[in-house]
Amino acid sequence: MEKYEQYKRVFHRFDSNGDGKICPVELQRCVGSIGGEMTEEEAVAAVVLMDSDGDGLLCLDDFVRIVEGAGEEEKASDLKAAFKMYEMEGSGCITPKSLRRMLSRLGERKSVEQCTDMIAQFDLN
């Protein structure tokens, strides 16, 4: 609940006219205030995409969904980046050799057989 209250405070700060909604111009301004860049067209598109009641404005719940969704995107991106570090030459798979190579870079010495066993514990196919 504390996180929701934080979102609420941020929402009210971005709701510059105090109408309880964030319009595309306010969204564009808020993104700029945190160091991002968003064109007017992007702001309109974002509002249209996330607007749950079709009024062309973001309510607090829409805003919370955007903020929490961005966090999920970031997590997925981090996981993909970590996977790419372990995969072998863009094969889309983590092989025992590629796992061994990455572990050795991290100071962990494992045999190919040990790496095969590690992968087997998590490999679904």
Q: Within a domain: residue 19?
A: yes
Pair (73, 91) in one structural domain: no
pTM of the model: 0.54
Q: Do 18 and 63 lie in a common domain?
A: yes
Domain housing 55: 1-77
Residues 14 and 54 placed together within one structural domain of the fold: yes
Is 5 in the same domain as 41?
yes
Question: Do 91 and 72 share a domain, yes or no?
Answer: no
Phi-psi region of 111 (alpha: psi -120 to 50; beta: other; left: phi over 0): beta
pLDDT tens-digit profile, the chain (125 residues)? 688 888 898 889 889 999 999 999 998 888 888 788 888 888 888 888 888 898 989 999 988 887 777 656 666 666 677 777 666 666 778 888 888 887 787 777 889 898 888 888 777 76
Q: Residue 23: its pLDDT value, please?
A: 92
